[in-house]
């Protein structure tokens, strides 16, 4: 009997076919890691011949996974949401299979799975600032402010606002003057001062022009359905939270404020056609709302007073903060401190939630 024999079987993958790239991906959990999957096991010596082109051009380093089908590279700069990039391989690359078949020159579009870091509406605020050469807040402030937008949205408040100026925090003054809803810049005049608490008037000539005009910019601030809100961090002084000026810029009416340090003579109203309140606690978060029958004053999330005065008349008044007129010719400038201001729908039902968010 003739003995049988077997031909040797190679356990080395590769054969005569060169490896190819199946996918190249950057995931949100590892924004600085490029994971490349090959059609077969490959070895890599270094990153020679590998580059990234596109919206950004980070360099590659620190490879891991040699001897497997998946090679991970570290990017010199992490990707961000929406960046379009491509992996480019030229013939000098050191990637080959165990049979020494080299990876041929090629390109592979990188799948960017990095999530958007911020809500689109807050990102729009950052983009507005960048477009207008306004310095952005630090990363921790951006994260905190983005959370405010998310919380306002999840509680059905954001969509009901027309304007929102947020003066708190460590951002530069120009950033604090951006209206987050309308993406326009308010203007500060006179001797207002700024701190992490917000903006403070000087009782002489300081005020903020919101560039919000009732009747023109009023999408949510409507007849029988309106609110103004403001945070007051220094409410012990005489002055105005908010007033209105006519189309010529002449001080016209006091909307929300107080004329005396005596708490018995405090008042507030959404416009000059409405009754005022007998008392405003002022300090903290204040919301003034109106429906068809009444106006409501909430202080720090709690209903403080209700008075008759529905039927809000909306006129083409420009809204000013820290300045108003008492009904005569004299203009009053406030030395109050304001942390934020907003205008929108009747938000009396959201007073306690706004108090916790803002």
Question: What domains lie within the chain, and their CATH numbers?
Answer: 21-113 (2.60.40.1220), 120-357 (2.60.120.200)
pTM equals: 0.71
What does the pLDDT read at residue 107?
98
Distance between CA 255 and CA 312 in Å, rounded? 12
Burial 247-264 (b: 16+ CB within 10 A, else e): eeeebbbbbbbbeeeeee
Lowest mean pLDDT, pick from 76-85, 104-113, 301-310? 301-310
> DSSP H helical segments within 2-138, as ranges?
120-131
Distance between CA 106 and CA 24 in Å, rounded? 12
Lowest mean pLDDT, pick from 70-74, 77-81, 167-171, 241-245? 241-245
Beta-strand pair 21-27/111-113: parallel
What does the pLDDT read at residue 353?
97
Lowest mean pLDDT, pick from 47-56, 104-113, 330-339? 330-339
Distance between CA 348 and CA 358 in Å, rounded? 15
What tokens does 265 get? Answer: 């003579």
Residue 247, CA distances (Å) to 79, 255, 291 in order: 48, 16, 26
Mean pLDDT of 343-354: 95
What does the pLDDT read at residue 238?
58
Q: Which helix (H) or strand (E) holds 227?
A: strand 226-234
Q: Is the pLDDT of residue 312 over 60?
A: yes
Q: Is the pLDDT of residue 325 over 90?
A: no
Q: Which helix (H) or strand (E) holds 151?
A: helix 139-154
Looking at the DSSP assignment, which residues form a beta bridge with residue 285? 231
145 HSE (CA, 13 A, CB side): 27
Are the CB atoms for 43 and 66 separated by under 8 Å?
yes
Which residues touch 130 (CB under 8 Å, ≥6 apart)?
A: 136
What does the pLDDT read at residue 296?
87
Tokens 């910019």, residue located: 217
**Looking at per-residue confidence, does 254 or 72 come out higher?**
72
Beta-strand pair 318-321/207-213: antiparallel
What does the pLDDT read at residue 21?
98
Q: Is the pLDDT of residue 345 over 50?
A: yes
What does the pLDDT read at residue 101?
96
* pLDDT tens, position by position, 140-150: 899 999 999 99
Distance between CA 222 and CA 224 in Å, rounded? 6
Are the CB atoms for 104 and 18 separated by under 8 Å?
yes
Q: Is the pLDDT of residue 121 over 90?
A: yes
What tokens does 125 get? Answer: 């605020």
Are the CB atoms for 34 and 121 separated by under 8 Å?
no
* pLDDT tens, position by position, 18-61: 999 999 999 999 999 999 999 999 999 999 999 999 999 999 99
Q: Is the pLDDT of residue 227 over 70?
A: yes
Looking at the DSSP assignment, which residues form a beta bridge with residue 200? 193, 337
Q: Is the pLDDT of residue 219 over 50?
A: yes
Neighbours of 346 (CB within 10 A): 23
Q: Is the pLDDT of residue 83 over 60?
A: yes
């Amino acid at each position: 009997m003739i003995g049988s024999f077997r031909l040797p079987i190679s356990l080395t993958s590769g054969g005569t076919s060169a490896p190819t790239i199946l996918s190249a991906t950057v995931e949100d959990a590892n924004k600085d890691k490029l994971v490349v999957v090959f059609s077969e096991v490959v070895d890599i010596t270094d990153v020679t011949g590998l580059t990234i082109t596109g919206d950004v051009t980070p360099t590659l380093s620190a490879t891991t996974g040699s001897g497997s089908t998946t090679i991970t590279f570290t990017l010199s700069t992490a990707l961000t949401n929406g960046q379009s990039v491509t992996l480019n391989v030229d013939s000098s690359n050191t990637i080959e299979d165990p049979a020494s078949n080299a990876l041929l020159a090629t390109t592979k579009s990188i799948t960017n799975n990095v999530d958007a870091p911020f809500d689109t509406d807050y990102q729009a605020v950052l983009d507005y600032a960048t477009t207008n050469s306004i310095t952005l807040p630090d990363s921790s402030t951006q994260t905190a402010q983005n959370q405010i937008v998310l919380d306002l949205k999840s509680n059905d408040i954001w969509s009901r606002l027309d304007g929102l100026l947020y003066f708190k925090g460590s951002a530069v003054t120009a950033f604090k003057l951006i209206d987050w809803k309308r993406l326009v810049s308010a203007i500060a005049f006179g001797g207002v001062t700024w701190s992490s608490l917000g903006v403070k008037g000087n009782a002489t000539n300081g005020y903020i022009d919101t560039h919000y005009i009732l009747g023109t910019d009023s999408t949510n601030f409507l007849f029988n359905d309106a609110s103004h809100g403001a945070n007051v961090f220094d409410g012990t002084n005489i002055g105005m939270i908010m007033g209105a000026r006519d189309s010529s810029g002449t001080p016209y009416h006091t909307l929300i404020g107080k004329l005396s340090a005596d708490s018995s003579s405090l008042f507030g109203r959404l416009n000059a056609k409405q009754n005022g309140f007998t008392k405003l606690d002022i300090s903290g978060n204040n919301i003034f709302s109106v429906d068809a029958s009444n106006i409501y004053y909430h202080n720090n999330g709690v209903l403080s007073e209700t008075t008759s005065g529905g039927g809000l008349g909306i006129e083409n008044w420009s809204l000013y903060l820290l300045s108003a007129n008492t009904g005569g010719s004299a203009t009053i400038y406030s030395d109050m401190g304001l942390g934020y201001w907003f205008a929108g729908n009747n938000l009396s039902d959201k007073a306690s939630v706004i108090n916790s968010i803002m």
